Amino acid sequence: MNAFSLKGRAALVTGSSQGIGYAIAQGIHEAGARVLFHGKTGPGPAMPAGSDFIELDLLSPDAPTNLVAAAFDREPALDLLVCNAGSFFDVPFLEMSPELWDRTLSLNVRVNYFVAQAFSRELIARGRSGAIVTTSSTNGFQPEDDSSAYDISKGAMVMLTRTLAQALAPHQIRVNGIAPGLILTPLTAGLLNTDKLVRYEKKILQGRIGSPEDCAGAVVFLLSQAARYITGQIIVIDGGLTLGQIGRP
For residue range 82-140, list pLDDT tens digits in order: 999 999 999 999 999 999 999 999 999 999 999 999 999 999 999 999 999 999 999 99
Give the pLDDT score at 45: 77
In a domain, 243, yes or no: no
Considering its fold, how many domains does the chain have in total?
1
pLDDT above 70: percentage of residues in the chain: 98
In a domain, 46, yes or no: yes
In a domain, 249, yes or no: no
User: Which CATH number characterizes residue 182's domain?
Assistant: 3.40.50.720
Give the pLDDT score at 26: 97
Mean pLDDT split into 10-residue runs, the chain, 249 residues: 92 96 97 96 82 95 97 98 95 96 97 98 98 97 94 98 98 98 84 74 91 97 98 97 83
CA dihedral 80, 220, 3, 165 (to 10 degrees): -50
For residue range 152-166, list pLDDT tens digits in order: 999 999 999 999 999
- Known catalytic residue: 150? yes
In a domain, 65, yes or no: yes
In a domain, 18, yes or no: yes
In a domain, 124, yes or no: yes
In a domain, 1, yes or no: no
Q: Which domain holds residue 90?
A: 10-237
In a domain, 193, yes or no: yes
Give the pLDDT score at 192: 65
Give the pLDDT score at 193: 64
User: Which is the catalytic residue, given 22, 113, 150, 229?
Assistant: 150
Give the pLDDT score at 191: 67
